[in-house]
Structure 1
Amino acid sequence: MNKLIDLQLFAAETNITTTSDLEPAISVDFTSQIAENIDELRKVLGISTLEPMATGTLIKSYKMTKENTPDQVGEGETIGLTKITRKLAWQKEITLKKFRKVATAEAIQKIGKQKAINDTDSKMVSELQKDIKKDFFASLATGTGTAKGTGLQAALANGWGAMEVRFEDLTFDPVFFISPLDVATYLGSAQITTQNAFGFQYIEGFLGLGTAILSPQLAQGTAYGTAKQNLRGAYIPNGGDVASSFGLTFDTTGLIGMTHSPITSNATIETLLMSGVQFWPEYADGVFKITINAASASTGA
């Protein structure tokens, strides 16, 4: 009887909030949402799969160049060789991005867990998405192809024509990246139906040319176009030793790793988020910077 009483003295109090009550629920929800958003973007970009890579792996973009144009020869004469080279345009390391924040006990008590933890987590996730998009647009800006036209429709049409020449031996799906300001200028008050993926708005079959992805990160007057088949995606897996070392919750792919930890020394809840997702064009010469020239007053009339 005495032993039973001793055990009861050391038993955990009822209704204690433990780490398991807090962590997997919040982390699983966020990792699932982010992974789904990234997967939606992958599909919109036409990328069949994301390749797992170790941190520090070099991702590379190339340029195909025809070095010469041999003269045509007569019947029975030796045909001159056409030399095609594949040169490195740029390379960069794929790196693991890490984000951390804390919510204090006072903040949780004052405004509740939803605002103090979940809402601020959402903001941190949006910053992660911005970083992924920023890196992607920076890689598009390294494209060496060019096209231009007066007004949005003519400029994109000329970009489409340039892609037809570059990818003449490939059945490809064009994708354009455009500032919403250019679309608004072109459409005026006309209503359009857009879809959303990873914070992007996109339009399928825009102007009959291909998929248009809209982003305010792009400067008005400049768009980019390429073939979906020219785009690649990779990520640093957040499972395995990384997950076990830091107690990360991750989806089946390991695209995103996240954990929430109570820090008793300062009465805070810490959020740790890790991701190494990267999108880029395989061939820089397959990306066209499209300049949208404004129509003159007389042309507009």
Structure 2
Amino acid sequence: MHDIRRLGLQVFAAPNNLTGEAQIQVKAREIDFVTSFGKNLQALLDILGITRMIRKENGSELKTKTVKGTLKSGEVGEGEEIPMSQYTVEEQTFDKIKIEKYRKGVSLEAIADKGYEAAVQDTDEEFKSDLRNVVSDKFYKQLMAGSLVGHESTWQMAVAMAIGKVKDKFKKMKRTVTGVAAWVNTLDVYKYVGAADITLQTAFGFEYMKNFLGADVVFISSEIPENVVIATPLNNMVAYYVDPGDSEFAKAGLVFTTDPETGFIGFHSEGSYGRMISDNFAIMGLRLFCEYLDAIAYISVGGSDTQTLGTLNVTSEAGSEAGTTKLTVKEQLMSMRNCWKYKDAAAATAVTYGMDVKNWSKWDGESEITSTAGHHITLVECDQNYKAVRSGDVTVTVNPGA
């Protein structure tokens, strides 16, 4: 027989790879993270009438569609040939959907200071909030690119016309509108309702009201500029995802917990002894997307029948190389068909609505520009015909070099 005294405590050591209380707690936390994230997103999809997410392969192109064509008259005489109505659908690549990787850590000191529950819960909620913002920011970017543009004199009329324009667009496309969603600025809503109480609900970080001002659902956000109304049919919106639980990842030793009902996000937590932190990883490829860009209405308030030039807020800072400047413009292009044009001169260049800027220099919105300190760069947003719709000017700051 063995002498148990010689064997000591090792007799009672747990076998390797035993699933203990700590592992169960970590797994439960991972499940809670992906489940709450998925349910929150599903609540938004339900509001939008999106019945299911469409799975895409990693790196798939997301394409918007434009329908062109005119219905020919049906008034033809007896025996005469009936004219054919021809419609074409043009596709244009808007973006790609791909798996995106995120990481955050909770330090040993934070856990010691606040306790495990508080430290983890606080950071997990902030992590989920930031991940939601990744999805919503991309969606807002596309909404801002809507090409069904217009101007109205009052905010109420802008809401009405935004709804009317998208319904009319779908009618011309021979599609039935299942409902309309609108997006408005938070301050604009409160200016309109005044002292009246309004009840807002929240889903996936989006605040909304149902059946307001003629729209089936109205989303209220400070991401929408003041005096702007955006609208699109509910059935213009789709949701895409890349499966974070792909078996190929697991084969590579990268195993993530996913919600089997939704599969929107993958989450994994583990201890990192080298830095004494609880390391947390999330992967997702999620997109809310509008199929028809020309069925997104972007209506601004303050225009008139003789449309006026909009304003761009432009800033300049020293570029990374000598003699260059880095421009930043607060506003996004109102339509994907629009583009940035600029003129560099000793003084500001006067711009009027509809002015032809075809021969101005083109800017991609990111690249640094070679200029001279004290010069003026006049930036213009122009439509597909190179007619100015918005303009801004800034005094240039350049990198002086060595």
Q: TM (normalized to structure 1)? A: 0.89
**Aligned-partner Cα distance in 1 for 2:116–2:13:** 23
Q: CA deviation at 1:147?
A: 3.6
Residue in structure 1 matched with residue 146 of structure 2 by the alignment = 143
Larger Rg: 2
Residue in structure 1 matched with residue 191 of structure 2 by the alignment = 185
Residue in structure 1 matched with residue 2 of structure 2 by the alignment = 2
- Render the CA deviation track for 1:138-175: whole Å, top value 9, x for unaligned: 11222211243233321111112212211224142011
Question: Relative to structure 2, which stretch is displaced further, 88-97 or 36-45?
Answer: 88-97
**2:266 is the alignment partner of 1:261:** no
Question: Relative to structure 2, which stretch is displaced further, 78-87 or 273-282?
Answer: 78-87
Question: Relative to structure 2, which stretch is displaced further, 4-13 or 218-227?
Answer: 4-13
Q: CA deviation at 1:267?
A: 1.9
Q: CA deviation at 1:19?
A: 4.6
Contact in 1 for aligned 2:180/2:216 (Cα 8 Å):
yes
Paired residues, what number?
Answer: 293
SS in 1 for 2:111: helix
5+ residue gaps, structure 1, are: 296-301
**Aligned-partner Cα distance in 2 for 1:108–1:116:** 5
CA separation of 1:55 and 1:72: change in aligned 2, threshold 3 A: same
Q: CA deviation at 1:21?
A: 3.9
**Aligned-partner Cα distance in 1 for 2:65–2:298:** 16
**2:117 is the alignment partner of 1:110:** no
Task: Select the residue among 286, 296, 303 that pairs with 1:287.
Answer: 296
Residue in structure 2 matched with residue 157 of structure 1 by the alignment = 160
**Aligned-partner Cα distance in 2 for 1:52–1:185:** 41
SS in 1 for 2:202: strand
CA separation of 1:272 and 1:52: change in aligned 2, threshold 3 A: same
CA separation of 1:186 and 1:99: change in aligned 2, threshold 3 A: same
**Aligned-partner Cα distance in 2 for 1:117–1:294:** 50
**Aligned-partner Cα distance in 2 for 1:99–1:191:** 39
SS in 1 for 2:104: strand
Q: CA deviation at 1:18?
A: 5.9
Q: Which consecutive aligned stretches of 4+ in structure 1 deviate over 4 angstroms post-superposition? A: 16-19, 67-73
Pairing 1:1-150 to 2, within 5 Å after superposition: 1-2=1-2, 6=7, 8-12=9-13, 19-66=22-69, 73-150=76-153
Contact in 2 for aligned 1:243/1:257 (Cα 8 Å):
no
Contact in 2 for aligned 1:62/1:90 (Cα 8 Å):
no
Q: CA deviation at 1:103?
A: 1.7
**Aligned-partner Cα distance in 1 for 2:3–2:101:** 49
Task: Select the residue among 247, 270, 287 that pairs with 2:279.
Answer: 270
Q: CA deviation at 1:68?
A: 8.1
CA separation of 1:240 and 1:8: change in aligned 2, threshold 3 A: farther
Task: Select the residue among 243, 252, 259 that pairs with 1:251.
Answer: 259
RMSD: 2.5
Q: CA deviation at 1:11?
A: 3.2
The percent of aligned pairs where both chains have the same amino acid is 26
**Aligned-partner Cα distance in 2 for 1:283–1:28:** 36
- Render the CA deviation track for 1:185-239: whole Å, top value 9, x for unaligned: 1111111111110011111101233210112211111121011011010111111
**Aligned-partner Cα distance in 1 for 2:4–2:301:** 81
Residue in structure 2 matched with residue 228 of structure 1 by the alignment = 234
Q: CA deviation at 1:69?
A: 5.3
**Aligned-partner Cα distance in 1 for 2:157–2:288:** 28
Residue in structure 1 matched with residue 357 of structure 2 by the alignment = none
Contact in 2 for aligned 1:121/1:271 (Cα 8 Å):
no
**Aligned-partner Cα distance in 1 for 2:150–2:131:** 32
Q: CA deviation at 1:30?
A: 1.2
**Aligned-partner Cα distance in 2 for 1:251–1:243:** 15
SS in 2 for 1:276: strand
Counterpart of 2:94 in structure 1: which amino acid? Answer: Q
* Structure holding more helix per residue: 1
SS in 1 for 2:109: helix
Residue in structure 2 matched with residue 299 of structure 1 by the alignment = none
Q: TM (normalized to structure 2)? A: 0.67
**Aligned-partner Cα distance in 1 for 2:70–2:3:** 89
